[in-house]
Amino acid sequence: MRYGIMINLDYDTNPYDECRDIWQDIRNSMVDSGFRIEGRLFTIEMAPEDACELARGVINLVDGRITTGNDLYHYLKEFYGYDHTNTTNLLLPPSETFELMED
């Protein structure tokens, strides 16, 4: 099962430079942990419970490295996990419009 973790930082109430540096650490740490990055969404082939546990572990590691005086949860705006298996990319044309042409 492809499981997705959505992470967004609160750029509206926190300094941009701090959020940028924190995002870079989150991004690198999630990828190093086996997640694939798709924009601000991280996906992994894993059971939901395991994917959530891994994501929380990564966030806790990043939290331990923050030197701004705030914890990471101060910067998080969204931190969701969900089944990504049935997600539809609306940037692509509907699959019904594809036709196979045989030569």
Rounded CA-CA distance 37/26 in Å is 11
Contact between residue 53 and residue 60 where contact means Cβ atoms under 8 Å apart: no
Q: Which residue has the tokens 């995002």?
A: 23
DSSP element (H, E) containing 38: strand 36-38
Q: Which amino acid is at 2?
A: R
The CATH number of domain 2-86, selected from 3.30.70, 1.10.10, 1.20.1260, 2.60.40: 3.30.70
Rounded CA-CA distance 94/91 in Å is 9
Q: What is the pLDDT along the chain (103 residues), one digit of tens a residue?
A: 899 999 999 999 999 999 999 999 999 999 999 999 987 799 999 999 999 999 999 999 999 999 999 999 999 999 999 998 888 777 777 777 667 778 7
